[in-house]
Structure 1
Amino acid sequence: MLRKISAYLSLISLVAVTLVPAMTASAAPRNGNQQRHVEKKAAPEFSKTNGSTATVRVLIQTKGTPNANHDGALTRAHGNKRASYDELNTIVADVPLNEVAGLAARSDVLYVAPDRPVKAQMNLTNDTTGVTQVQSGQPGASGVDGKGVTIAIFDSGISANHPDFLTKNKSRVIASVDFSGSKRRGDADGHGTGVAGVAAGSGATSGGYAANYAGVAPGANLVDVRVLDENGIGRTSNVLAAINWMIQNRARYNIRVANLSLSMPVRESFHTDPLCKAVELAVRSGIVVVCSSGNLGRTDVITGYNADGSAIYQMAYGTVGSPGNSPYVITVGATDSHETVRRSDDTVASFSSKGPTHFDHLVKPDIVAPGRRIVAAMSQEVNTTLANEYPARIVQPVSSSAARNVYFNYSGTSFSAPVIAGTVALMLDANKSLTPSLVKAILVKTAQALPNSGSKAQSLFSQGAGLVNAGAAVNFARAVVPNADHLVAGNNVLRANNTLKSFGAMNIGGENVKLSSRVIYADGVLFKNQPVLTDGIMLSDGIMLSDGIMLS
Structure 2
Amino acid sequence: MPSSRLLSLFSAATIALSLTNTYAATNSSITQKTDRIIIKFKKNPSSSVSSNNTSSAHAQMLRMGFKPLHKTVSGAQVYNLGELIDVSKVNEFAEQLSHTTSDVEYAEPDYIMTALNTPDDPMYNQQWAYFDTKGGINAETAWDMTTGKMPSGESVVVAVIDTGVRPHGDLKENLLQGYDFISDAWAANDDNGRDSNAYDTGDAIKAGECGTDGNGNPYPSYDQSSSWHGTHVAGTIAAVGNNSLGVSGVAWSAKVLPVRVLGKCGGYTSDITDGMMWAAGIDVDDVPRNTHPAQVINLSLGGYSSCSRTYQSAISAIRARGTSIVVAAGNSDDNAEDYTPASCNGVITVAATNKKGFRANYSNYGSVVDVAAPGGETSWISKTGGILSTLNSGDSEPGEDSYDYYQGTSMAAPHVAGTAALLYAANPDLSPSTVERILKSTTREFPGCYTRGCNNLCTEDTCGTGIIDAGEAVKKAKYY
Q: Secondary structure at the match of 1:280?
A: helix
Residue deviations 1:412-467, cap 9 Å, x none?
00010000000011111110000000000000000122133899997233211110
Kept after mapping to 2: 8 A contact 1:157/1:226? yes
Q: How far has the Cα of 1:258 moved from its partner?
A: 0.4
Counterpart selection for 1:226 from 260, 283, 299 = 260
Q: Secondary structure at the match of 1:378?
A: strand
Q: Distance in 1 between matches of 2:401 and 2:294?
A: 30
Kept after mapping to 2: 8 A contact 1:150/1:221? yes
- State the partner residue of 2:162: 155
TM-score (normalizing by structure 2): 0.57
Q: How far has the Cα of 1:384 moved from its partner?
A: 4.0
Counterpart selection for 1:125 from 98, 122, 130 = 130
Q: Secondary structure at the match of 1:347?
A: coil
Q: Secondary structure at the match of 2:331?
A: coil
2:413 is the alignment partner of 1:426: no
Q: Secondary structure at the match of 1:174?
A: coil
Seen in structure 2, the aligned counterparts of structure 1 residues 349 and 367 have a Cα distance that, compared at 3 Å, is: same
Q: Distance in 1 between matches of 2:243 and 2:405?
A: 15
2:153 is the alignment partner of 1:145: no
| Larger strand proportion of the pair | 1
- State the partner residue of 1:70: none
Kept after mapping to 2: 8 A contact 1:164/1:204? no
Q: Secondary structure at the match of 2:230?
A: helix
Q: How far has the Cα of 1:232 moved from its partner?
A: 5.5
Structure 1 ranges of 4+ moved more than 6 A: 453-458
Q: How far has the Cα of 1:367 moved from its partner?
A: 0.2
Q: Distance in 2 between matches of 1:191 and 1:118?
A: 20
Q: Distance in 2 between matches of 1:413 and 1:317?
A: 13
2:463 is the alignment partner of 1:463: yes
Matches within 5 A, 1:249-260: 252-260=291-299
Q: Which moved more, 1:272-281 or 1:414-423?
A: 272-281
Structure of greater Rg = 2
Unaligned runs of 5+ in 1: 1-116, 298-315, 338-344, 356-362, 389-403, 481-552
Seen in structure 2, the aligned counterparts of structure 1 residues 148 and 333 have a Cα distance that, compared at 3 Å, is: same
Counterpart selection for 1:216 from 227, 241, 250 = 250
- State the partner residue of 1:353: 364
- State the partner residue of 1:191: 229
- State the partner residue of 1:295: 331
Residue deviations 1:490-547, cap 9 Å, x none?
xxxxxxxxxxxxxxxxxxxxxxxxxxxxxxxxxxxxxxxxxxxxxxxxxxxxxxxxxx
- State the partner residue of 2:271: 238
Kept after mapping to 1: 8 A contact 2:148/2:155? no
Seen in structure 2, the aligned counterparts of structure 1 residues 384 and 203 have a Cα distance that, compared at 3 Å, is: farther
Matches within 5 A, 1:27-66: none
Seen in structure 2, the aligned counterparts of structure 1 residues 366 and 421 have a Cα distance that, compared at 3 Å, is: same
Matches within 5 A, 1:68-217: 121-127=126-132, 128-135=136-143, 137=144, 142-146=145-149, 148-159=155-166, 161-166=167-172, 171-180=173-182, 181=184, 182-184=188-190, 186-187=199-200, 188=202, 189=226, 190-203=228-241, 207=245, 213-217=247-251
- State the partner residue of 2:342: 324
Kept after mapping to 2: 8 A contact 1:364/1:460? no
Counterpart selection for 2:315 from 274, 279, 298 = 279
2:475 is the alignment partner of 1:475: yes
Tell me which amino acid in the other structure corresponds to 1:353.
N
Q: Distance in 1 between matches of 2:169 and 2:131?
A: 20
Q: Distance in 1 between matches of 2:309 and 2:456?
A: 29
Q: Secondary structure at the match of 1:195?
A: helix
Q: Distance in 2 between matches of 1:196 and 1:424?
A: 14
Q: How far has the Cα of 1:273 moved from its partner?
A: 3.1
2:457 is the alignment partner of 1:439: no
- State the partner residue of 1:383: 395
Q: How far has the Cα of 1:471 moved from its partner?
A: 0.2
Kept after mapping to 2: 8 A contact 1:177/1:224? yes
Q: Secondary structure at the match of 1:144?
A: coil
Q: Secondary structure at the match of 1:245?
A: helix
Tell me which amino acid in the other structure corresponds to 1:252.
T
**Count of aligned pairs:** 297
Q: Distance in 2 between matches of 1:354 and 1:325?
A: 11
Q: Secondary structure at the match of 1:262?
A: coil
Q: Secondary structure at the match of 2:249?
A: coil
Kept after mapping to 2: 8 A contact 1:259/1:418? yes
Seen in structure 2, the aligned counterparts of structure 1 residues 320 and 419 have a Cα distance that, compared at 3 Å, is: farther
Q: How far has the Cα of 1:283 moved from its partner?
A: 1.2
Seen in structure 2, the aligned counterparts of structure 1 residues 241 and 145 have a Cα distance that, compared at 3 Å, is: closer
Tell me which amino acid in the other structure corresponds to 1:467.
I
- State the partner residue of 2:303: 264
Q: Distance in 2 between matches of 1:325 and 1:440?
A: 15
Tell me which amino acid in the other structure corresponds to 1:245.
W
Q: Distance in 1 between matches of 2:229 and 2:457?
A: 33
Q: How far has the Cα of 1:406 moved from its partner?
A: 1.6
Q: Distance in 2 between matches of 1:408 and 1:458?
A: 26
Q: Distance in 2 between matches of 1:457 and 1:129?
A: 18
Seen in structure 2, the aligned counterparts of structure 1 residues 118 and 223 have a Cα distance that, compared at 3 Å, is: closer
Q: Secondary structure at the match of 1:349?
A: coil
Q: Distance in 2 between matches of 1:424 and 1:254?
A: 15
Seen in structure 2, the aligned counterparts of structure 1 residues 294 and 411 have a Cα distance that, compared at 3 Å, is: same
Residue deviations 1:376-426, cap 9 Å, x none?
00136x4348x99xxxxxxxxxxxxxxx75211110000100000000111
Question: Once superposed, what is the RMSD of the aligned Cα atoms?
Answer: 2.9
Q: How far has the Cα of 1:124 moved from its partner?
A: 3.8
Seen in structure 2, the aligned counterparts of structure 1 residues 123 and 457 have a Cα distance that, compared at 3 Å, is: closer
Q: Secondary structure at the match of 1:132?
A: helix
Q: Which moved more, 1:255-264 or 1:448-457?
A: 448-457
Q: How far has the Cα of 1:132 moved from its partner?
A: 1.6
Seen in structure 2, the aligned counterparts of structure 1 residues 132 and 201 have a Cα distance that, compared at 3 Å, is: same
Seen in structure 2, the aligned counterparts of structure 1 residues 178 and 324 have a Cα distance that, compared at 3 Å, is: same
Q: Distance in 2 between matches of 1:457 and 1:215?
A: 27
